[in-house]
Chain A
Amino acid sequence: MALYRSHVLVCGGTGCNSSKSDMIRQRFEEKIIEMGLDKEVQVISTGCFGLCEEGPIVVIYPEGAFYSRMKIDRVDRIVEEHLFKGRIVKEYLYEESLDKDKLKSLNEVDFYSKQKRVALRNCGVINPEDISEYIARDGYLALGKVLTEMTPVDVIQVMKDSGLRGRGGGGFHTGLKWGFAAPNQADQKYVICNADEGDPGAFMDRSVLEGDPHAVLEAMAIAGYAIGATKGFIYVRAEYPIAVKRLEIAIGQAKEMGLLGKNIFDSGFDFEIEIRLGAGAFVCGEETALIASIEGQRGMPRNKPPFPAIKGLFGKPTIINNVETLANVPQIIINGADWFRSFGSEKSPGTKVFALGGKINNTGLVEIPMGTTLREVIYDIGGGCPNGKAFKAVQTGGPSGGCITADYIDTKIDFDTLTDLGSMMGSGGMIVMDEDNCMVDIARFFLEFTVEESCGKCTPCREGTKRMLEILDLITQGKATLEDLDKLEKLAINIKNTALCGLGQTAPNPVLSTMRYFREEYEAHVLEKRCPAGVCKSLLSYYITEDCRGCTKCAKQCPVNCIEGSVKKLHIIDQDKCIKCGACMEACPFDSIIIK
């Protein structure tokens, strides 16, 4: 095996990739060859580093230099200076990684220091397309241990003891789930990895698959051994081409090395994995819809019970675990349940990956122990809201969750605390909102998503969410009455009570939680026909301030001739005629037209 003095790790995650990290990597390779360094320096494409806001990211070891917001034209200089002359190009480094000119290790950077990486431990560390790098990081050790030293009952017991709960949304105990499927006698059982990540803004599963695909394969094989399944399916969105490609490579390599296939580790245990591509329907993340989709049926949920552990894929006992859940499994097997319970909270042990997005400085993926407070996540790790704006609320759990307001910022995050606040963990999306966000508009945004993604099977979800959306439209247009607010709430409760699947039952959550915490904003829209955050277009008015010099440009631009005023005199907008197109505001050279 060749030895290199330096390693250039280029993020090959989807985020950085879409900012041309693949071309950056290519340029590194070319330049390194040009400089004759290719025997000394190796370039590796890794999975996601998590700090997507600062991407594309390049880290050079052994120094651990963290180059952020990389551009192709910076590559040559880094190769010439850093790799050739040994001088780190400080001006290209991530600002936070410098402490008075001294390079900080990645673990000391605020964004990473509070994190605890279990599911993401290999993301940004190894080359996901090389199984030997995974093995070097104790990969397949857990599978070996399970197959040679443990009985299926032992494995399930360890999982139960660990208290690992499903990271896909529901938070159901993984060990229990496996325990339900194990005793069912059947000629075939299945393990499904749910990689149909669909919450807007959540991408932790993608990162795991892109950065550490073998961890998922290994965990599936362990699960297969535990419940007596010999076949696994990974249901992954077709919109994740990099993840799919790396999974394919990983499955191929694992098969070649005998880590998947027949008689793994000479134990007599067989396990195969196939990939199934989802066509992008959000509802296919619901386990019964997902099963229907793999079976070749339309992806519609069915009633539970029977649960998949009893009657799942093709009518056989099946367990379905989410990607992040699975990524924890090998670590738990190697380090034990007590180790896993040593972080996190009592009822929610371990860590959780959150996707930070919205009005926050450090957009990206963070993995934190359960029980970390929202404040730590948003301020210490996320760096707070940009431009010094005030934090207003955070939406957790995506379109199925709810918002948590500034009043609850010291809440310790885990499955149960979030549920108590009327939100939920969901898959771990966290969308931060500041004072400029209208909560009615936010609720509308999420509801629009669910209306679009409803499968159309049950009445309350198909018809009810649409009617809710229509009422929200009226509210944002200032056409609603207080009666409509009651109707909205009544519909929301009915959908929650009677919808068939989790998607429908949780669809009203964004509305219910914003109504609970921001009722006054709803009422302002209804009673005063005013959007306090200044977002809802229909409720805005354009005004000309005293700064007007009377240049008449606005009046000339106005398509409905509703601006009165003569040269060098203050102009006035006729509010009754104004269509709120904004043309006047654009035309004004003195910024004297405002919206309020």
Chain B
Amino acid sequence: MEKVNVTINGKKISVPSDYTVLFAAREAGIDIPTLCYLKDINEIAACRLCVVEVDIKGRPMRNLPASCVLKVEEGMNIRTNTSRVREAVRTNLELILANHNRECLTCFRNGTCELQKLCDEMGVDDIAYEGEKRRPILDQVSMSIVRDSSKCILCGRCVNMCKQVQGIGILDFTRRGFETEIAPAFDFSMADSPCVYCGQCIQACPVAALRERTNIDDVWDALEDPEKFVVVQTAPAVRASLGEEFGMPVGTRVTGKMVAALRRLGFDKVFDTDFTADLTILEEGTELLGRIKNGGKLPMITSCSPGWIRYCETFYPEFVENLSSCKSPQQMFGAIAKSYYAKKIGIDPKNMVVVSIMPCIAKKTEANRLEMQVDGIRDVDFSLTTRELGNMIKQGRVDFKKLSDENFDLILGEYSGAGVIFGATGGVMEAALRTVADVLTGQDLENIEYHVVRGLDGVKEASVVLPVDGVDTEIKVAVAHGTKNAAKVLDAVKAGEKSYHFIEIMACPGGCVHGGGQSHVSAKERLDVNPKVSRANALYAEDAIMVNRKSHKNPEISKLYAEFLVEPNGHLSHKLLHTHYKVKKQYQIENQDDFEELIRK
């Protein structure tokens, strides 16, 4: 890349010619405040906080341009720290505050709010403008997501996350001028819109305009209830993010501290969803082999990600039959805990409360699906996000950083390395391949790292040749993460351009490690660290040190089949561990004709 010479705050620097002024400044060690900017996702120059003073070869630019989109030019002289710039930034912050619900002290994002931080840093010490505010909308109809327009600052990060990254576009700017809102079409509730609850908009939101619907108090109540035996399961990805809630670097693996903290909070048993991740591999792997051998519907597609399930049911109903009938590991866990485990320890499943800690907000809705119960008993009672657990630990006054590592309880806390990597895109596929390869070859293979399905390429493809009924067969697989990539794969399959036996799809870009329930990483931090990579690395590191790295080698899984389930895909498995799906209308309205009339208007 060609370089250009620019001066920033008097300092001469040479930077690649495709740099923006914002990046050139960073290279010069100068921080420019941003709010609407989300690298590669939302570069719309709307908040006007990153404005700078610029002249080019002595000719001043007319106004204060936004550095996030302004490309460097030879001879540019940039000043970021003049009273004119500071005054402009502060005024624009004050203007945002004037239309903002300023209940910072009681806000879910108190401490992680990017607006709050900037106001602090820029010395906004007064409410400069009081006046009319936009109409407030508090949409908490959904089990998963809450939209609070009174806190929205209209930065558009969620809009482009949903539209450009996820390829869906639930949220967009509506109305205009001072009345502008970000909302679903025609003011539908998020619950009645085709939102899949991936929660990526929450990850994008700098404030608390979008957040999960919290169940913290429900869980406290259960823990207080002497009648209840409360068990908790933690999803693989949570251990790679929870530490961030306590100021630890992004992607710090805190498995042992997390277990210790959960015990301090009073859970009767601390288990791991990784256990049922391993179980999923056996059920799903068996299902796949069955489909291949018996001419079942192919490609088979994973069903672990409830965001993906919603997406499929809503946008690709023709693929519903391709979905594995396996419940997700969260649900399998609940079903096993309340049957096999409850029986084992002699507890009435009605008195058992299963809490899950998930990197996900769609899990809350999944836990509430009518299909997700056995004999009238719900598999999972409450699902909390990583952030909610962080909050609970703080509320419980547990000094997280000082905790010593502890181990999960037996028996549902036993897991393999394959279960751990479920949390990263490609992890389910790799775990499945480890088991399927062993089963089909009848060997205990040593070469078990499938790097081709790891990493952040949108769609990853691989093929392995394995003996099926003694015939060497090429098993073709694909991995997609993020719904936009899912659409790419499905469209290619639909068009007949691609054919696969097995596809792993996760609704969130990067997989569960970057789920909508994970810790917030600010737009600024994201310039230095990619949470998808750091957290996935944490999981692969845990896998690497495990003695047992294959699901079918998990001794407790073997016992589970021997003592209880009998065989994968067997009668009891079907009752407890498998489910079915239904096609979902995009907008939940009584009469589609009414809606179409509405659109026409």
* B179 x A496 contact (CB < 8 A): no
Beta-carbon contacts of A443-486 to B below 8 Å, as 1s and 0s? 00000000111111111101111110010000000000000000
Q: Is the CB of A500 within 8 A of B172?
A: no
CA distance A548 to B48 in the complex (A): 60
8 Å CB contact of A456 from B63, B91, B129, B176: B176
How far apart sit A470 and B172, CA to CA, in the bound complex (Å)?
Answer: 28
A209 to B389, CA, bound (A): 65
How far does the alpha carbon of A414 sit from the alpha carbon of B49 in the complex, in Å?
A: 35
Least CB distance from B164 to A in Å reads: 12
B46 and A498: CB pair below 8 A?
A: no
The answer on a CB contact under 8 Å between B175 and A456 is yes
How distant is the Cα of A498 from the Cα of B67 in the complex, in angstroms?
11
Residue of A nearest to B99 (CB): A463
Residues on A with beta carbons closer than 8 Å to the beta carbon of B71: 305
Q: Are B92 and A460 in contact, with the CB atoms below 8 A?
A: yes
A302: interface (CB < 8 Å): yes
- Interchain CA distance A457-B95 in the complex, whole Å: 13
Task: Determine whether the beta carbon of B92 is less than 8 Å from that of A462.
Answer: no
A494 and B87: CB pair below 8 A? yes
Q: CB distance A454 to B178 under 8 Å?
A: yes
Report yes or no: B177 in contact with A456, Cβ–Cβ below 8 A: yes
Q: With A and B bound together, what is the CA distance between A272 and B303 in angstroms?
A: 50
- Closest-by-CB residue of B relative to A283 is B176
8 Å CB contact of A463 from B44, B70, B95: B95
Q: A456 to B66, Cβ gap below 8 A? A: no
Q: What is the CB-to-nearest-CB distance from B71 to chain A, in angstroms, rounded to a whole number?
A: 7
Q: How far is the CA of A298 from the CA of B181 in the complex (A)?
A: 13
Name A's B-contacting residues (CB within 8 A): 281, 298, 300, 302-303, 305, 451-460, 462-467, 470, 487, 490-491, 494, 496-500, 505
The answer to whether B178 touches A497 (Cβ under 8 A) is no
Contact for B132 among A300, A459, A466, CB less than 8 A: A466
Known contacts A462-B177, A466-B132; 12 additional CB pairs below 8 A are: A298-B173, A452-B177, A454-B177, A456-B175, A458-B48, A459-B46, A467-B95, A470-B132, A491-B91, A494-B92, A497-B51, A498-B63
Residues of B near A300 (CB, < 8 A) are: 173
Nearest 4 Cβ contacts at the A-B interface: A456-B180, A463-B95, A454-B177, A303-B45
The minimal Cβ–Cβ distance linking B31 to chain A, given in whole angstroms, is 19
DSSP class of A's interface residues: helix, strand, loop or mixed? helix
B96 within 8 A of A: yes
State A497–B48 Cα separation when bound (angstroms).
10
Tell me if A460 and B48 are in contact (CB < 8 A): yes
Closest chain-B Cβ to A311's Cβ sits at a distance in Å of 13
Residues of B within 8 A of A494 (CB): 87-88, 91-92
Complex CA–CA separation, A459 to B156 (angstroms): 12
From 80 to 121 in chain B, residues with beta carbon under 8 angstroms from any chain A beta carbon are 84, 87-88, 91-92, 95-96, 98-99
Shortest C-beta distance, B525 to chain A (Å), equals: 23
Q: Report the minimal beta-carbon distance from B546 to chain A, rounded to whole angstroms.
A: 49
B176 partner, pick from A281, A464, A470, A505, beta carbons under 8 A: A281
Residues 48-66 of chain B: 1 if any A CB is under 8 Å from the residue's CB, otherwise 0? 1101000000000001101
Measured CB to CB, the closest approach of chain A to B55, in angstroms, equals 14
Could you tell me the distance between the alpha carbons of A305 and B172 in the complex, rounded to whole angstroms? 24
**B residues in contact with A465, CB < 8 Å:** 178
Q: Which of B66, B84, B178 has the most CB of A within 10 A?
A: B178
The reply on B69 being an interface residue by CB < 8 A is yes
How far is B175's CA from A496's CA once the two chains are assembled, in angstroms?
A: 24
Least Cβ–Cβ distance between B170 and chain A, in angstroms: 15
Check B46–A466 contact: CB distance below 8 A: no
Total A-B residue contacts, Cβ distance less than 8 Å: 102
**Is B436 part of the contact surface with A, judged by Cβ < 8 Å?**
no
Nearest CB in chain B: distance from A217 CB, A:
31
Partner of B95, one of A456, A460, A496: A460
> Closest CB of chain B to A251's CB: distance in Å?
27
Contact call B178/A466, Cβ cutoff below 8 A: yes
CB-CB nearest in chain B for A304: B69
CB closest residue in chain A, given B53: A497
Q: A466-B131, A467-B95, A467-B129 are in contact. Are A500 and B46 (CB under 8 A)?
A: yes
Offer 11 A-B interface pairs, CB within 8 angstroms, sorted by A: A303-B70, A454-B178, A456-B175, A458-B45, A459-B48, A459-B95, A460-B92, A462-B177, A497-B64, A500-B46, A505-B63
Q: How far is the CA of A592 from the CA of B87 in the complex (A)?
A: 53
Which listed residue, B51, B88, B173, touches A457 by the CB 8 Å rule?
B173
The answer to whether B177 and A453 touch across the interface, beta carbons within 8 angstroms, is yes
Interface size on B, residues (CB 8 A): 36
- CB contacts (< 8 Å) of A453 on chain B: these are 176-177
**Does B46 contact A497, Cβ atoms closer than 8 Å?**
no
Residues of B within 8 A of A499 (CB): 48, 63
Interfacial chain B residues near A455, Cβ < 8 Å: 176-177, 180
Measured CB to CB, the nearest residue on chain A to B172 is A298
Identity of the chain B residue whose Cβ is nearest the Cβ of A501 in the assembled complex: B45
Task: Flag whether B154 is at the interface (Cβ < 8 A).
Answer: yes
Q: How far does the alpha carbon of A464 sit from the alpha carbon of B49 in the complex, in Å?
A: 14
B146 CB within 8 Å of chain A: no
Are B84 and A467 touching (Cβ within 8 A)?
no
A498-B51 in contact given A463-B98, A463-B99 (Cβ < 8 Å):
yes
B47 at the interface (CB under 8 A from A): yes
Residue of B nearest to A450 (CB): B177
A456 and B179 in contact (CB under 8 A), knowing A497-B63, A497-B84? yes
**What CA separation (Å) do A264 and B156 show in the bound complex?**
46
In the complex, the answer to whether B98 meets A496 with C-beta atoms within 8 Å is no
C-alpha gap A491/B90 in the complex (Å): 11
Structural contact, B47 and A459, CB atoms closer than 8 A: yes
A337, chain B: closest CB distance, angstroms: 28
Check B178–A462 contact: CB distance below 8 A: yes
Contact of B44 among A302, A456, A467 (CB under 8 A): A302
Cα(A455)–Cα(B173), bound, Å? 10
Set of chain A residues within 8 Å of B45, measured between Cβ atoms: 302-303, 458, 500
Say how far A235's CB is from chain B's closest CB, in angstroms: 18
Q: Which residue of A lies closest to B181 (CB)?
A: A456
Contact call A467/B88, Cβ cutoff below 8 A: no
Q: Is the CB–CB distance between A457 and B63 below 8 Å? A: no
Q: Are B69 and A498 in contact (CB under 8 A)?
A: no
> How many Å lie between the Cα of A451 and that of B178 in the bound state?
7
Q: List CB contacts (< 8 Å) of B439-474 with chain A.
A: none
* Neighbouring A residues of B95 by C-beta, 8 Å: 459-460, 463-464, 467
Report the bound CA distance from A441 to B258 in whole Å: 64
A233 to B177, alpha carbons, bound, how many Å?
A: 27
Cβ contacts under 8 Å, B179 to chain A: 456
> How far apart sit A298 and B49, CA to CA, in the bound complex (Å)?
23
Bound together, the chains give a CA A302 to CA B49 distance in angstroms of 16
| Contact, CB under 8 Å: B88 / A497 | yes
Contact across chains for B91 and A490 when beta carbons are under 8 A apart: yes
Tell me if A496 and B63 are in contact (CB < 8 A).
Answer: yes
Which residues of chain B are near A303, meaning CB under 8 Å?
44-45, 66, 69-70
Shortest A455–chain B CB gap in Å is: 6
A451 to B175, CA, bound (A): 13
Of A453, A454, A457, A487, most B-chain CB atoms within 10 Å: A457
Instruction: Give Cα A29–Cα B70 distance, bound, in whole angstroms.
Output: 62
| A453 to B178 CA separation, bound complex (whole angstroms) | 9
Q: How far is the CA of A500 from the CA of B49 in the complex (A)?
A: 11
Contact A457-B92, Cβ < 8 Å, known A462-B177, A498-B64: no
Known contacts A467-B98, A500-B45, A500-B66: A456-B84 contact under CB 8 Å: no
B-chain residues with CB within 8 Å of residue A459 when the two chains form the complex: 46-49, 92, 95-96
Find out whether the CB atom of A456 lies under 8 angstroms from the CB atom of B173. yes
Assembled-state Cα–Cα distance A476/B92 (Å) = 25
Residues in A with CB closer than 8 Å to B48 are 458-460, 498-500
- A470 to chain B: which residues have CB within 8 Å? 129, 131-132
* Contacting residues, chain A, for B66 (C-beta < 8 A): 303, 500
